[in-house]
A and B are shown apart, each in its own frame.
Chain A
Amino acid sequence: MSLTRLVTLTLAIMLAAVPAAAQSVLRIGLNDDPDALDPTISRAYTGRLVFAGLCDKLFDVTPELKIIPQLAIGFEWAPDQRSVVLKLRSGVKFHDGEPFNADAVKFNIERHINTAGSFRKTEIGQISSVDVLDATTVRLNLSEPLVPLLAALTDRAGMMVSPKAARALGDKFGTRPVCAGPYRFVERVAQGKIAMERFADYWDKGTVHIDRVEFIPILDSTARLASLRSGDLHMIERASPTDLPEIRGDSRLRVTGVPELGYQMIPMNVNNGPKSKTLGDVRVRQAIDLAIDRETLVKAVFNDEYIPGNQWVSPTNQYYNAKLPVRKRDVARARQLLKEAGQPNLAFTLIVPPERDRQEAAQIIQAMLAEAGITMKIQTQENVTMLTNGRKGDFEAYFTFWSGRPDPDGNVFTHNTCKGAQNDPRYCNAEFDALVAKARQTPDPAGRKKLYDRATKHLLRDLPRLHLWHRRVFTGYTAKLTGFTPYPDGIIRLRGLKLN
């Protein structure tokens, strides 16, 4: 071979070996491993983070919780509130190329309601039928008026999956989801990573700048933070307050915090079996409430990074009753109430899962209650056991939380109505039930606020549960990431993100 040919060949080989422009990859650390990636049966919070990339919904919310179009571009309620017409976006495709249209919406709504084991049924079960009016218009007919319906359609109940893939995969759909989001599913290694790649035919592809996204569950918060600091992760969701000094002290990192939609609470056994004897008297519950200093609690345990609260929405929420703020601690009044209730030396057990935040908070509460003559024993129980015992009434009080919903109904209805599925205390107040039931049917926010204000008065008087604080959702991320907007639901919206 001549020298010229050899040089040419060598250059050609070198050029061929030069890689194409490197693919941008965003790696996000999750606090735990999501469950099945099927919006109909999924219930884990971390699943929602993954769905945000895979599955577009009929509607979304702004950071201010205003409902905005996504796969549906408009809605119109019937005058009697018993049906709503949705106008759908045209030109949308699922990841398998199938068209998104009114038939797909009908299929999905029916799937959410009729699938055995569906967790969406309680959210949109009032939809009695779906009418396809034309290719881009559906009507949802309701068995009763339900204003929170649209808010439900901004989450998993509004997620649309490909009917073709759902039929083909059946109950295995959650292992290989096919939706209409900005990214399509590539692979999942259980407890390893979930990978997705940019969907070339996404309807809003101009907002998608990152080629590939990987979600990696890392349960240990120290290890998660170390991965962020080392650059192995670009983002971590729900960073702990104890991580904040390190993140803030590192110029390569950023952190944002927004008040969460939910709350941390202690449900007390009002009328659920024999164990309701201890805390069944409302004066006893009021005494416990008065003996706790929420502001000191938040300062001591969370360095003031969280928000003290006393209601089922945070003080920053529009549905918070500002006329009933967090009360100042009053140990003397607490003692008096206990005396009136005939329990001057009250003793009860608080069940707490083995999770740092709540364990530390429980110890502080224990000390505060002791000053009011109340002996609170802390019993550590693993989370599932605690929840099971809660359902059965085998508790006096337990320490749990609610992740929160964009619509106020999702934070209060099933927890406190007489037949509410999450009403472990078995609190029952007909007037309260009537107020929140009416609020569900009142579209006007001002009107709803008045009803909820009255309902809150009942809750703060009867105290079936103590609302203690609201977390801020902290998201830590590399300074190389731009375009990130934090949302109160903590879900990372991937559109608009850029990795430099």
Chain B
Amino acid sequence: MQLAVFVARRLAVLVPTLFFVSVLIFSLQTLLPGDAAIALAGEESDPAAIAGIRAKYHLDQPVVVQYGIWMSKVLRGDLGESLRNRIPVTELLASKLPVTVELAVCSMLIALLIGIPTGVVSAVRRGTAVDVAANAVALSGLSVPHFWLGIMLILLFAVRLGWLPASGYVPPWEDLGRNLTTILLPSIVLGTGVAGVMMRHTRGAMLQTLSADYVRTARAKSVPERLVVLKHALRNALIPVITLGAIEFGRLLSGAVLTEQIFAIPGFGKMLVDGVFNRDYAVVQGVVLVSAGLYVLLNLLADILYFLANPRLRGA
């Protein structure tokens, strides 16, 4: 019951958040220099054609009117169509969301598989060579540019060794094996960056919990060290890590522009950047709105997990 009330309150925040985001992104786009109709026209400059585009997409109307027209369609589930390729934005989002989700999930898995164990070991072996090495690896993951890492991995695994494809994406329902090979390198690129962050936070949280009274009590009661670390310390240390994980996952869901660009992954990030450069307003608005919604939902999920993991919150 407490959880239900908690969730209901958080979901109620979603609507005004999305409304605020929609107004913000619509306003910010109008500040972009350049004319969307000319962006569409490119080197074809027929004034009549450009005027036709403006009229068709209401670009000749005041911003408030344009927003009203757009919002009235959004409330009916119509996010408009891409100015550039005339594909409905909902269709674009539906085709790219699974790609972005898959990339985000795989990257997050890699981040967690590397980050959490490394953070635990680093905290337990604080001050030793293992700790130093783990910190160095984490910092490398954080500081190496994704762009460079991606190109290096392509040159090694695709060009030199021929083990993995250099670019492209195959949906899992088309060919699962090929899908996994196309998603592996970009996931490593993104995952290593997040792993560094996860490792540092896990280490910090573990150091805190390992010095807590209840851990000292457990050790005094001769509980095996493995259980002390994994059952008592780690469980409590995971609470802030969950929150961080949700934020990082939300960031991944917004799209990883450079990684998608290098590996030609048709995800959100690439679509968003292309939308900005092409003044494809409907696409930009759709992506930002969906990303904002996902972000709020993910934070809600993190809060729910936090709620479930921390007995003290349930009693509050």
Contacts and interface: CB of A to CB of B under 8 A. Distances in A.
A122 B45 CA distance: 9
Nearest to B99: A192
Interface residues on B, range: 35 or more
Contacts of B47: 421
Contacts of A217: 264
A290 interface: no
Contacts of B127: none
Contacts of A388: 33-35, 38
A174 B56 contact: no
Mostly, the B contact residues are: helix
- Of residues B53, B99, B266, which shows the largest number of chain A Cβ atoms within 10 Å of its Cβ? B266
Nearest to A172: B86
A35 B40 CA distance: 9
B87 interface: yes
Nearest to A228: B166
B175 interface: no
B154 interface: yes
B177 interface: no
B277 interface: yes
Interface in B283-304: none
Interface stretch (A36-44, A74-82, A359-367): A36-44
B274 A43 contact: no
Contact of A43 (B42, B155, B165, B279): B42
Nearest to A422: B45
A125 B266 CA distance: 37
B41 A43 contact: yes
Interface string A385-407: 10111010000000000110000
A220 B49 contact: no
B232 interface: no
Nearest to B162: A230
A399 to B, nearest CB: 14
B42 A175 contact: no
A116 B270 CA distance: 29
A13 interface: no
A33 interface: yes
A232 interface: yes
A325 to B, nearest CB: 27
Interface in A97-137: 116-119, 121-122
A263 to B, nearest CB: 12
B277 A117 contact: no
Interface in A196-248: 216-220, 222-224, 226-227, 229-233
Contact of A117 (B52, B96, B99, B155): B52
B274 to A, nearest CB: 6
A220 B148 CA distance: 12
A175 B270 CA distance: 20
B38 A230 contact: no
Interface in A175-199: 175, 188-193
A402 B44 CA distance: 10
A191 B168 CA distance: 10
Contacts of A430: none
A249 to B, nearest CB: 13
A230 B85 contact: no
Nearest to A118: B49
A477 to B, nearest CB: 16
A227 B261 CA distance: 13
Nearest to A218: B264
Contact of B168 (A34, A216, A381, A384): A216
A232 B165 contact: yes
Contact of B158 (A36, A119, A218, A230): A230
Nearest to B164: A230
A192 B169 contact: yes
Contact of A190 (B42, B48, B82, B150): B82
8 contacts: A121-B49, A174-B85, A216-B167, A217-B264, A218-B264, A223-B150, A387-B34, A414-B45
- 4 residue pairs, one from A and one from B, having the closest CB atoms: A192-B266, A384-B34, A385-B34, A230-B158
Interface of A: 33-38, 41, 43-44, 116-119, 121-122, 171-172, 174-175, 188-193, 216-220, 222-224, 226-227, 229-233, 381-385, 387-389, 391, 402-403, 414, 421-422
